[in-house]
Amino acid sequence: MEERLIIAGFGGQGVMAMGQLLTYAGMVEEKNVSWLPSYGPEMRGGTANCNVTISTDPVGSPVVVEATTAVVLNKPSLDKFETSVVPGGNLLINTSLIDRKAIRDDINAYYIPANEIAIEIGNVRIANMVMLGAYIEITKAISVDSIYKAFEKVFGESKAHLLPINKKALEKGAEAVKSLVKA
C-alpha cells in the first residue's frame, strides 16, 4: 500500500496541520511516511501545499509528482493540482470555496462543502478537519483513531481541549462522503 497525497490551499486553512496529522498517524501505525511542506512567499493567505506519503514500503522520495489523492481547499489549488492525480485517483474538492467541478473524468472527484459543515459545527477553522475526515473515509489510508493519537503530538497539550470539536469535524467529513464511496 502506498498513498501519495497532495494537500493544497491558502495559508491559514490548516493544510500543513492536515499533513502533519496524517504523517504522525502513519507513524502511530508503524507505516513509512514522509511530509514535505511548501509555502508561497506570503504568510497567512498565501499559497500552501504539502506532499504526504504513507506506505507499507520504504518511501523513496518525499516529492509527490503523481498523487493517488489530492485534497484541494481553494480554486487556485484545484487549477494547479488536478492534473497531478493519477488516473483512477481521488480528488477532494472544497465546494465552499471552489465554484467548478473537476475537468477530468478519469479520476474520482468528491465534492465536500467543508466550510459550511465547519460553520454548522461551530467554527469555520475546522474545515480542514472536515476534509481530513472525508479523505480518511475514502482512502482508509490510516485510521481515524490514529489521527486522535497524533492530535496531541501535533498540537500539544495546550490544544487538547480542541480535540472534541475536531473529532466532530472528522466524523461530519466522513458522513459527507459515505454515500459517495464505492464499497
Domain residue ranges of the chain, discontinuous segments joined by +:
2-178
Locate the DSSP E strands across 24-134. Answer: 32-39, 47-55, 67-72, 85-94, 108-112
- The residue that leads in pLDDT, 183 or 41, is 41
Alpha-carbon distance of 77 to 48, in angstroms, equals: 9
The whole-number pLDDT of residue 43 equals 58
83-127 confidence digits (pLDDT tens)? 999 999 999 999 999 999 999 999 999 999 999 999 999 999 999
**CA-to-CA distance for 25 and 4, rounded, in angstroms?**
15
pLDDT bin (cut points 50, 70, 90) of residue 154 is: confident
User: What angle (nearest 5°) sits at the alpha carbon of residue 179, between those of residues 33 and 114?
Assistant: 60
Nearest to 17 by CA among 50, 41, 53, 64: 50
The amino acid present at 156, given as its one-letter code, is: G
Looking at the structure, give the CATH architecture of the domain made up of residues 2-178.
Answer: 3-Layer(aba) Sandwich (3.40)
Confidence (pTM): 0.94
